[in-house]
Structure 1
Amino acid sequence: MKIFPNLFRQKFQVKAPNLVWCTDFTYIRLSNGKMRYNCAVMDLYDRSVVSSLNSEYINTKLAKAAVEQALGAEKPGKGLILHSDQGSQYTSWKFVDYCKKSGIRQSMSKAGCPYDNVPVEHFYNTFKNELIYPNSFSSAANFSCHHHLTTMKHRQRKNLRQLPILALRL
């Protein structure tokens, strides 16, 4: 287990894309009582979700897979910082070693302080209020389909935010 210092102290302004990502997990209870877990990776620059994966297990494998997906999609340059909480998934030697080999610097929130990772906490609040609570998902497949569509919608919103203001007014 390895704990890293918090490099941000709740200052989440980033000057360019793919310099700093935040990551976290959330729990989703399906209507059949089974649990699913989501791991999201967010680019702090524009608060876009660059990766989001679901699993029946909350573990290092899911965290690593979400970061791998983000790296494959975004292809950031050297010096990427990944901010997370101090969950065992992020402090495990397997995850720490993966980050080191991938050229990722880790940053971690103070234990028990969700405000240190508030951008992802805010995303999960919106995610649950817009997708989870209004719907009843009876199976993992049903949830995954809706989740995929919501992730696509979020990426479309991100693209709209990047358009010049004049283009949005036309």
Structure 2
Amino acid sequence: MLPPAIIPTIYVLTQLGLNGSRLGYILVIVGTRLGVVIFLATGFVRTLPHDFEEAAQLDGANKWQIYWRIVLPVLTPVLFTGAVMLIISVWKDSYFALFPLRGSQTATLPLTLYSFASSSTHGVSWNLVFAHVVPTSLPLVLVHLVLQRRVLAGLTEGGVTG
């Protein structure tokens, strides 16, 4: 069973000459996963009070200055939360990566773990599989450690009044 979206995706990538390439996979991931971040960001921006923008306009700021100095710093926690969600979503998606990425040269780390665990003909050597799980999950742990403080600081920043 194939997901219904995989067939037209592979067809379009083949027509563009990007089937089996990292660029083609990145474009597919961006096209399918970016909607979540856009949904989060627009929902958050709509809740911002217009007083911030009006005060900046009174101080002489143009639209780009308002965006770069007011909206983007306030939006940073939402963007980091979306980035964490996207990274986890892409990282755990070894099934979708199996179709556009063929061969060991372009395979993702979870895809190599899957092929390593399923390549044994005499049974699975679980000790070797779990030894492979540690370096495979290490980039995700590092991303979590780096972004954890910013996401938590942004989530608790608006809760204090005074």
TM range (shorter): under 0.3
Which structure has greater helix proportion? 2
TM-score, normalising length: structure 2: 0.27
